[in-house]
Amino acid sequence: MFVDSHAHIDGSEFDHDRKEVIERALAAGVTTILNVGTGDPHSDAFERAVDLGQKHNNIYTAIGTHPHDARHYNADAEHKTKQLIKENSRVVAWGEIGLDFHYDNSPRNVQLSVFENQLRAASELQLPVIIHTREAETETIQTLKSKFSSSTKRGVFHCFSGSMALAKEALDLGFFISFSGIVTFKKADDLRAVAEYVPTKQLLIETDCPFLAPVPHRGKRNEPAFVVEVARCIAALKNVAIEELGQITAANFARLFTPPV
């Protein structure tokens, strides 16, 4: 039993075979998928994600404005996101939100204020958050400390590729850390050291598909069934059976997102 805690399967990459992709996940033992809706909040991207979650009882939904799209976020976007969350109980998290100073698709000051605003909105709704952070470790931790410390919910640093120092800060703040297929890549020794360090009670696994397919599927389109390879890699690092790693991360997922049964 495995949970893919972060996937993007509502997008056009899966339009021709979404049904088969979901079936293959179930056949591989991936019982639950958290599908994350991203894109311009004024487009129909969030509705599309919510729709997919409503149609499948093994798919939960998260929606939020990605740092890439921060320039599109405003009061209307916040209102719309809140409405969708209130009307749909299968939306279990606000995200992905955060800072991406690698691509800088939105200006940094805009990313920062939009990150702060979405943290506030998520705490108002008492929802956990999904954090995307790249080349902005200090700013991410500072913002969480100043704007999210009073929230009753925590969240996850998804597709973790940061330093050991960032992992320690995130863990100290009570956040989960989720590893994707990157942890299986040949040159990812530093990241594997982080995965070995993260306590199993704060560990999650994900695909972040359609990107970042794990070894041995590297280079292909990624899909939720492949999360088993992430589990295999981390189970070996932690010296536990893959089934046990699957069960632990599935229980963690339920604890963080407390999805309705």
Tell me the per-residue interface mask from 202 to 231 with Zn ion, x by CB under 5 A, - otherwise: ------x-----------------------
Angle at 255 between CA 52 and CA 24, to 5 degrees: 40
Nearest-approach distance from CB 214 to Zn ion, in angstroms: 15
C-alpha separations of 131 from 116, 118, 176, 222 in Å:
12, 11, 10, 21
* Smaller CB separation from Zn ion, 63 or 203: 63
Nearest approach, Cβ of 145 to Zn ion (angstroms)? 21
Smallest distance from Zn ion to CB 96, Å: 5
Instruction: Rank residues 206 and 229 by Cβ distance to Zn ion and give the closer one.
Output: 206
132/192 with CB nearer Zn ion: 132
Reading the block at residue 115, the tokens are 């990150």
Rounded CA separation 213/181 (Å): 6
Amino acid occupying residue 12: S
Q: Applying CB under 5 A, which part among 57-65, 132-140, 212-220, 233-241 lies near Zn ion?
A: 132-140
Looking at the Cβ atoms of 118 and 235, the one nearer to Zn ion is: 118
Map the footprint of Zn ion across residues 175-204, applying CB under 5 A.
none
Q: Map residues 14-53 to x or -, x wherever contact with Zn ion holds by CB under 5 A.
A: ----------------------------------------
Residue 243 C-beta: closest distance to Zn ion, Å: 26
With binding defined as CB under 5 A, does residue 132 bind Zn ion?
Answer: yes
Provide, rounded to whole angstroms, the least separation between the CB of residue 261 and Zn ion.
25
Q: Examine residue 68 and tell whether it contacts Zn ion (CB under 5 A).
A: no
Residue numbers 80-99 binding Zn ion by CB under 5 A: 96
Residue number closest to Zn ion, CB atom? 132
Question: Closest separation between CB of residue 7 and Zn ion, Å?
Answer: 8
Binding stretches for Zn ion (CB under 5 A)? 96, 132, 208
